[in-house]
Amino acid sequence: MDKVLGTLNGTQYTVGDSLLELSYLVAALLFVVGLKMLSHPESARRGNLYAFGGMALAMLTTLLLHRDDNGSNISLTNIWIILAAIGVGSAIGWIIARKVKMTAMPQLVSLYNATGGAASALVALLEYPKALTGDVGSILVTVLGLIIGAVAFSGSMIAYGKLDGKVGDVMKPFMTYINLLLLVLTLGLGVYITVSPNPPDEMIWAIYALFAISLVYGVMFVLPIGGADMPVVISLLNSFTGIAAAMAGFIYNNMAMILGGILVGAAGMILTLLMCKAMNRSLINVIIGAFGGGVSAAGGEQGNIREIALSDAAVLMSYSQKIVIIPGYGLAVAQAQHITQELDELLEKKGVDVKYAIHPVAGRMPGHMNVLLAEADVPYEKLVEMDDINPDMPNVDVAIVVGANDVVNPAAYNDPGSPIYGMPIIDAHLAKNIIIMKRGMGKGYAGIENELFFNEKTRMLFGDAKSSIQKLVTEIKTM
């Protein structure tokens, strides 16, 4: 029998209870260390394993040592059911992670985030009757977990649809008022449930109504937000999921869930605010501004387009001293990261100094370009953040823009009427020569014309990025 160590508030604490709490502390430390290690590509893999180890430890000790309110451990039957569910989920996750393309990684992140929100919302929904028998605090965390989890789930699913091209931007003037009404209804019903003196069986309708309204609000919350803001929205929804998980931890009085959720929520919110700063916009402006929702710049064509031949581009690159490659989502679509790295190595052998300029919101999720280039074994030291590379751009012989658009558009400086005005950009326009690789003259997420295309120093190299760079590599090798 488990040895009793003492009694606190009428509850006996055993050796098993102490070991369980200790395991949660160790798991929390592993989460923190893992999160810290994720900040650098060289340690990110080990950081991921540390965090995985912390979660595995918390799950294992919970299965073996957790006791319910009656002092009973989890039954053997339930343990096998839980292990079977973990096995099925792990197998599905493993298969999806192995098969998903890097271009679809943002969609996968949104989908996983949605499952986290759904899990937290379902926990709150199932545990609500029990919470009603407790104090106001128990009801409050349950209601918050339900609202935040449901919003994170439905919002993430809409974000997934937007990223995958299945859901377009829908922005109507009246949608702002609808969203405000839904928000008021959600919060008002949540307060009513929390403070209502009615018995549990009379409040079931309210909790299901709250669940439904929260799901609708999550959809309406994300639907008007344009594609350019998807990295911010994904980060914000990820923060929501973390907070919802923390609420579920409070429901079950599980310290590992609480600490893990707090870490995810805090990290997601910090990242969200940093990206808003990188776009020179407030979080409220992102949520209600519909940036990237199909706005077009007025004025039409701004000048002449100049093209460059592959042979001329190869000569220009080969005899340059300093080149900066600016990657964007187009590089991911073309899956050109590996051939870009080959071009990088080839130019380095010719004595060219090659760097990569990384904008904080390039791609479709935070860190998308960093992950993409890391997959191609590009040294981390070559990835230079926007604020660090911009002062050196006037000294760059050639800026090569591969699939980037809004993050290099000088309209952010020159056009007060532009939706991206004031957004920090990579100063490609200051380079001595500019080569832009694109399939055509398509606009970026913000839906506006890119002034850089018409710059007198710019030359367009049209075609698929992977194919164009492959031909450049072949051309340079023959020189």
DSSP 446-461: T----GGGG-TTEEEE
CATH assignment at residue 436: 3.40.50.1220
Pair (162, 69) in one structural domain: no
Task: Identify whether residues 277 and 132 lie together within a single domain.
Answer: yes
Residues 288 and 381 both lie in one domain = no
pLDDT at residue 443 greater than cutoff 70: no
Q: Does 304 fall in a domain?
A: no
Last residue of a domain, one of 84, 99, 114: 99
Statement to judge: residues 240 and 349 lie in one domain: no
Tell me whether strands 353-358 and 458-462 are parallel, antiparallel or unpaired: unpaired
Edge-to-edge strand list for the sheet holding 353-358: 383-385, 353-358, 322-327, 398-402, 433-438, 458-462
The percent of residues in the chain predicted with pLDDT above 90, rounded, is 33
- Indicate the pLDDT class of residue 296, thresholds 50, 70 and 90: very low
Q: Which of 79, 81, 48 is nearest to 66 (CA)?
A: 79
For residues 124-137, b (16+ Cβ closer than 10 Å) or e, as one string?
bbebbeebbeeeee
pLDDT band at residue 328 under the 50/70/90 scheme: confident
Closest CA relative to residue 267, chosen from 363, 366, 156: 366
What sign does the dihedral 381-383-389-394 (CA atoms) show?
positive
Residue 330 near residue 404 (C-beta atoms within 8 A) = yes
Q: Would you state the pLDDT for residue 71?
A: 65
Residue 299, domain member (yes or no)? no
> Domain count of the chain?
3
| 143-147 average pLDDT score | 94
List, for residues 54-106, the tens digit of each pLDDT value. Answer: 999 998 998 888 776 666 777 888 889 999 999 999 999 889 888 887 667 78
The span from the CA of 293 to the CA of 39, in Å, is 32
Which of residues 244, 261, 292 is at a domain's end?
292
The contacts of residue 473 (CB under 8 Å, 6+ apart) are: 339, 342, 343, 346
User: Which of 50, 84, 99 corresponds to the end of one domain?
Assistant: 99
Would 62 be classed as within a structural domain? yes
Question: Residue 348: its pLDDT value, please?
Answer: 92
pLDDT score of 448? 74
pTM over 0.75: yes
Q: What is the mean pLDDT of the chain?
A: 84
Amino acid 295: pLDDT: 43
Q: Establish if 147 belongs to a structural domain.
A: yes
Write out the two tokens for 38: 């994720």
* pLDDT at 441 > cutoff 70: no
pLDDT band at residue 20 using 50, 70 and 90 as cut-offs:
confident
Residues 266 and 350 grouped into a single domain: no
Looking at the structure, tell me whether residues 377 and 443 fall in a common domain: yes
Residues 83 and 135 in one domain: no
Residues 6+ apart with CB under 8 A from 182: 213, 216, 217, 220
464 is an active site residue? no
Q: Convert the pLDDT of each residue in 249-295 to its tens digit.
A: 998 888 888 988 998 999 889 888 887 877 766 777 666 655 544 44
Q: Are 340 and 467 in the same domain?
A: yes
What integer pLDDT is reported at residue 216 of this predicted model? Answer: 95
Query: Does 297 map to a domain?
Result: no
Q: Specify whether 137 is located in the same domain as 107.
A: yes
195 and 279 part of one domain: yes
For residue 378, the SS3 value is coil
Question: Does residue 56 belong to any structural domain of this protein?
Answer: yes
Active-site pick, 406, 415, 427, 464 = 406
Confidence band, pLDDT 50/70/90 cuts, at residue 302: low
More confidently predicted of 150 and 127? 150
Residue 371's domain spans which residues?
Answer: 310-477
* Domain annotation covers residue 134: yes
- Average pLDDT (139-167) is 90
| pLDDT at position 5 over 70 | no
33 within a domain of the structure (yes/no): yes
**Residues 246, 137 within the same domain:** yes
Residues 272, 416 within the same domain: no
